[in-house]
Amino acid sequence: MAPTATASQPSVAHAPVTKHSVTNRKKDDVEYGSERLIYMEHEYSAHKFRNLNFVATIHCLSSLTAHLVVWDPEGNEYIDMLSGHCHPRLVAALTEQAQKLTLSSRAFYNSQFGRFAEHITKLFGYDMVLPMNTGAEAVETGIKLARKWAYLKKGVPEGKAIVLAAKDNFHGMSTDPDSRREFGPFLQNVGPSIEINGQTHIIRYNNVDDVKRALEAHGKDIAAFLVEPIQGEAGIVVPDEGYLSQVHALCKKHNVLLICDEIQTGLCRTGKMLACDHDNVRPDIVLLGKALSGGMYPVSAVLADKDIMLCIKPGEHGSTYGGNPLGAAVAVAALQVLVDEDLADRADKLGHIFRQSINDLNSPLVKLVRGRGLLNAVVIDEAKSTRGRTAWDLCLLLKSRGVLAKPTHVNVAVVFALRPRLLYPKLSSARVLVSLLSLCATSIRSTSFPERMKLIDSRLVTNQERTPASSSDLRSRCVDIRFDTKGWELLFGSLKHYHAGHNLSTDSARPRRSL
């Protein structure tokens, strides 16, 4: 969506956030400021997304906040709650392999893909992997694989195989999404609707009966049920406990493959290696992407056992870049980091703290906080906003306070997502929470909400000092803080002090804005 400005001079509101003197900024970063870069993208690129008018140019270089903090060309600092950046082990793997071999024809073998294939299949307990590049490619490959299996193994008549999905699932935007007003891909006999006795039935997410009805009516022709273990772009919708296991049992009963799209939810994001692990479900096909390369290179993968995977014969599927040595080397390093740094457990613990901290506010503006691990969404109550603004507006205000978040594709008005990197310092979490709490406090209609919430801004109080300390002061000392359990409790103690009625000084340098 275009920036709200004229084509020749788009409007860019720069955040009154921390400035840094970036000594290694390139000449281009200085000559091409945010305003010019936004104009160039708007003018010469398709308008695929609604953007926050923020230009990322460099990530933070300090040790403990690295990979989380980014700067714009003007030197403003932001905490990125949507992505991580430049893990040193992944940078090393990328640069080392880039000096050896980056791409080879799939007509012959390369030195890295075999290592990747062995590593990922053993880690997740599947026989084989089919490498691709993007999440949408992985989804389409999974659909193709399921149909091949249905024709060769299940005996579904050619051209009749059905792949069911759930309403508001997000599986990419690659094929005709607008024609059915849902998310793609939309191919024949693929999607959340099915004809039963002359009527169209929608497969609702988190509704076992809908799946049961469809399987009982058309089970002989259904190849697979494609589902997100937690719906991402629908608003981080967590299904009821047991939903996935019941659906899995129904699929087994009707000889239907269960495909779990773990592109957003997998790889420790929800506090488990895979989100389906929360229900102790082993899908027939698993789709992975996004974090599989830690944001360093496009890598996706389809996992399955041999009886399914070998339904695709040589020459029937491929990709020029799928399984390339550069992507394979980075992906192996990324998978090793997940295990070595125990990121599933880390995400689980920090997610509990984050959701509890928001819930403890009892803010009328916050209708609901939901998620698992470090995949979370905040649902706001528009009726309680002083100006009736939306989650998008709240994200803009968070940006003005140096925090980057975004609304989800569905329910853009009321839901915004927070998906920080898994190596997420507690200090940064405190900064994000304080910014969010301040907005939630100053943006409501209720006069009974505690006035002291309006004092929260960018300052924290530590248990140790019992004196106000600005976020910039804490940032400057972050290299001296070890983020063990005690250190994290120290930083999050500021929230406990708030609830105990301690005064938190305001930062006069940051102007307040209400929703």
pLDDT score at 433 = 57
Domain with residue 452: its CATH number is 3.90.1150.10
Intra-chain end-to-end CA distance of the chain, in Å: 22
Burial class (CB in 10 A: 0-12, 13-18, 19+), 159: exposed
Is 257 or 346 the better-scoring residue by pLDDT? 257
Give me the number of domains the chain comprises: 2
Q: Which residues are catalytic?
A: 170, 261, 290
Task: With H, G, I as helix, E, B as strand and everything else as coil, classify residue 418.
Answer: strand
Inter-residue contact 423 to 343 (CB < 8 Å): yes
Q: Is residue 135 domain-shared with residue 267, that is, in the same domain?
A: yes
Domain-located, residue 512: no
Q: Which stretches within 301-460 are classed as H helix? A: 306-309, 325-340, 343-359, 391-400, 426-442
> 466-491 burial, b for 16+ CB within 10 Å, e for fewer?
eebbbbbebbeebeebebeeeebebb
Q: Is residue 287 domain-shared with residue 426, that is, in the same domain?
A: no
Q: What is the dihedral of CA 148, 152, 153, 155, to 10 degrees?
A: 110
DSSP string, 459-491: EEE-TTT-SEEEHHHHHHTGGG---SHHHHHHH
pLDDT score at 479 = 26
User: Taking 80 as the threshold, does the pLDDT of residue 425 lie above it?
Assistant: no
- 308: alpha, beta or left, given left = phi > 0 and alpha = psi -120 to 50? alpha
Q: What is the mean pLDDT of residues 240-254?
A: 99
Q: Is residue 243 domain-shared with residue 180, that is, in the same domain?
A: yes
The two counts, helices (H) then strands (E), for the chain are: 14, 19
Domain-located, residue 62: yes
Q: What is the mean pLDDT of residues 98-115?
A: 96
Return mean pLDDT, the chain: 77
Domain-located, residue 165: yes
Lowest mean pLDDT among 278-282, 380-384, 397-401, 453-457: 453-457
The pLDDT-based confidence of 447 (bands split at 50, 70, 90) is very low
**Domain end (from 285, 305, 340):** 340
Q: What is the mean pLDDT of residues 101-118?
A: 96
pLDDT score at 356 = 84
In whole angstroms, give the CA distance from residue 221 to residue 200: 17
Domain-located, residue 103: no
Q: Is residue 148 domain-shared with residue 247, that is, in the same domain?
A: yes
User: Taking 60 as the threshold, does the pLDDT of residue 487 lie above it?
Assistant: no
Q: Is residue 65 domain-shared with residue 180, that is, in the same domain?
A: no
The three-point CA angle 266-271-275 to 5° equals 40
* Single-letter residue type at 219: G
The pLDDT-based confidence of 114 (bands split at 50, 70, 90) is very high
Q: CB count, 10 Å around CB of 464?
A: 9
Domain-located, residue 13: no
pLDDT score at 413 = 63
**Which position has the token pair 């009321």?**
414
Q: Is residue 41 domain-shared with residue 134, that is, in the same domain?
A: no
**Which position has the token pair 């860019």?**
12
Q: Is residue 175 domain-shared with residue 311, that is, in the same domain?
A: yes
Task: With H, G, I as helix, E, B as strand and everything else as coil, classify residue 188.
Answer: coil
Q: What is the mean pLDDT of residues 185-192?
A: 69
**Domain end (from 340, 374, 403):** 340
Task: Tell me if the bond preceding 283 is cis, omega within 30° of 0.
Answer: no
In whole angstroms, give the CA distance from residue 443 to residue 11: 24
Contacts of 116 (CB under 8 A, 6+ apart): 129, 131, 323, 328, 329, 331, 332
Q: Is residue 308 domain-shared with residue 390, that is, in the same domain?
A: no
Q: Is residue 37 domain-shared with residue 163, that is, in the same domain?
A: no
* Single-letter residue type at 275: A
Classify residue 150 by its DSSP letter. I
Q: Pick from 499, 483, 484, 491: which is nearest to 463 by CA?
A: 491
The pLDDT-based confidence of 9 (bands split at 50, 70, 90) is very low
Domain with residue 141: its CATH number is 3.40.640.10
Q: Is residue 353 domain-shared with residue 408, that is, in the same domain?
A: yes
Domain-located, residue 414: yes
Lowest mean pLDDT among 4-13, 151-160, 317-326: 4-13
What residue numbers bound the domain in which 177 lies? 108-340
Q: Is residue 116 domain-shared with residue 205, that is, in the same domain?
A: yes
Please, how many CA atoms are within 13 Å of residue 466, restricted to the half-sphere of its CB? 2
Q: Is residue 63 domain-shared with residue 147, that is, in the same domain?
A: no
Q: Pick from 352, 368, 375: which is nearest to 415 by CA?
A: 368
**Domain end (from 288, 310, 340):** 340
User: Taking 80 as the threshold, does the pLDDT of residue 310 lie above it?
Assistant: yes
pLDDT score at 16 = 41
- Tell me how far CA of residue 109 lies from CA of 104, 112, 117, 442, in angstroms: 8, 9, 12, 60
Domain-located, residue 12: no
pLDDT score at 47 = 85
Domain-located, residue 18: no
Q: What is the mean pLDDT of residues 398-420?
A: 79
